[in-house]
Amino acid sequence: MPTVRRVAEDYLDHLAVERGRAQNTLRSYRLDLGRYLDHLDYLGRAELTQVAEADVAAFVTALRTGERPLAASSAARALAAVRGLHRFALYEGLTPTDVAAGVASPALGSRLPSALSVDQVDQLLAGCVSDGPVGLRDRALLELLYSTGARISEVVGADVDDLDPDARTILLHGKGNKQRIVPVGRPALAAVDAYRVRARPELAGRGTGSPALLLNARGNRLSRQSAWHVLRAAAEASGLPGDVVAAVSPHTLRHCFATHLLSGGADVRVVQELLGHASVATTQIYTHVTVDTLREVYATAHPRARG
């Protein structure tokens, strides 16, 4: 019987080779399974056949109450990795039952993604005021994020040839190597055009011919971390209230994109396609905005709304 650690390595290989999971996903799974393996070592469980449902439940409890407790969402993600491991072991005939199937995930609550108003987004984008090469690139980056609802990793991963100015679209490479074509608004196209004409040639001359659309100061592809710093710097320079600036995250403009589309009457399934969500249930966390709008209209228009 292979050890728990051997089965975990086989499972990660399965995710990479047969399931084609993205590198970021694999890194997260490896981290979460590493925590689980340490937990099983502490319990003296060298083989999966020795693991009981109570051991898995104790792992979740330890994640939430240990010296460095994880948020409910992080603990739920770790449990998902553990469940995948045990399902894999059952499918491979290494265990007679799936002891993780009945373990409940931590309650995630109903926390909704924060979104800026349209005026606040305009103010945030205005935080990029420099006409230098880096400033023009930063404006193009932020305009693309808001115009397309793309993840930061998708925008910095785009190449020059992925943008079609005539069709006003961009090809995005999403999670799990899934591709989608998303429309690009005219303000974003104008910002990208200014960057490509007035800034990118200078930046590209400092590098070795990267095909990336967005380049850093050395002429190489802009990293996710650098793009996140650009967003933070624009927020801090925008003059927005401190609590709004503090709430800005890598997904802020993606949240704003979805929220503003739904508030404007877009169909949730169209927004799902634009965001690249596999399930419409993921997109529906944004529909609270539409409900809030309907509630305001009802409160002001119905004769018995205040009754």
- Tens of pLDDT, residue by residue over 247-289, are 888 888 999 998 888 888 888 888 898 988 877 777 777 766 5
Question: Of 74-83, 109-118, 156-165, which gets the smallest average pLDDT?
Answer: 109-118
> Is the residue at 228 inside a domain?
yes
For tokens 């309650």, name the residue.
107
The string of pLDDT tens digits covering residues 123-167 is: 999 877 677 899 999 999 999 999 999 999 999 999 999 999 999
Query: pLDDT-based confidence at 300, cuts 50/70/90?
Result: low
Among 151, 173, 255, 260, the active-site one is 151
Can you give the pLDDT at residue 199? Answer: 95
State whether 135 and 60 are in the same domain: no
Number of domains in the chain: 2
> Is the residue at 267 inside a domain?
no
> Is the residue at 39 inside a domain?
yes
Rounded to whole angstroms, the Cα distance separating 172 from 180 reads 5
Residue 51 belongs to domain with CATH number: 1.10.150.130
State whether 139 and 190 are in the same domain: yes
**Rounded mean pLDDT of the chain?**
88
251 annotated active-site: yes
**What does the DSSP assignment read for the chain?**
---HHHHHHHHHHHHHHTS---HHHHHHHHHHHHHHHHHHHHHT--SGGG--HHHHHHHHHHHHHSSSPPPHHHHHHHHHHHHHHHHHHHHTTS-SS-TTTTPPPPP-TTPPPP---HHHHHHHHTT----SHHHHHHHHHHHHHHHH---HHHHHT-BGGGEETTTTEEEEE-GGG-EEEEE--HHHHHHHHHHHHHTHHHHHTTTT---BSSB-TTSSBPPHHHHHHHHHHHHHHTT--HHHHHH--TTHHHHHHHHHHHHTT--HHHHHHHHT-SSHHHHGGGGHHHHHHHHHHHHHH-TTTT-
Can you give the pLDDT at residue 298? Answer: 64
Can you give the pLDDT at residue 68? Answer: 84
Can you give the pLDDT at residue 35? Answer: 95
Can you give the pLDDT at residue 60? Answer: 94
> Is the residue at 201 inside a domain?
yes
Among 200, 254, 255, 260, the active-site one is 254
Can you give the pLDDT at residue 304? Answer: 65
254 annotated active-site: yes
Please state the separation of Cα 213 from the chain's center in Å: 20
* Residue predicted with more confidence, 266 or 219: 219
Residue 167 belongs to domain with CATH number: 1.10.443.10
Question: Of 20-24, 281-285, 294-298, which gets the smallest average pLDDT?
Answer: 294-298
Which residue range(s) make up the domain with 82?
4-91
Can you give the pLDDT at residue 110? Answer: 52
Can you give the pLDDT at residue 46? Answer: 93
Identify the top-confidence range among 13-27, 36-50, 246-260. Answer: 36-50
For tokens 């529909």, name the residue.
287
In contact, 1 and 22? CB cutoff 8 Å: no
Can you give the pLDDT at residue 302? Answer: 66
Among 175, 221, 224, 288, the active-site one is 175
Can you give the pLDDT at residue 167? Answer: 94
Of 247, 267, 300, which marks where a domain is finished?
Answer: 247
Among 86, 173, 200, 251, the active-site one is 251
Residue 290 has pLDDT above 80, yes or no: no
Can you give the pLDDT at residue 306? Answer: 56
Can you give the pLDDT at residue 296? Answer: 62
State whether 134 and 233 are in the same domain: yes
Can you give the pLDDT at residue 111? Answer: 55
> Is the residue at 17 inside a domain?
yes
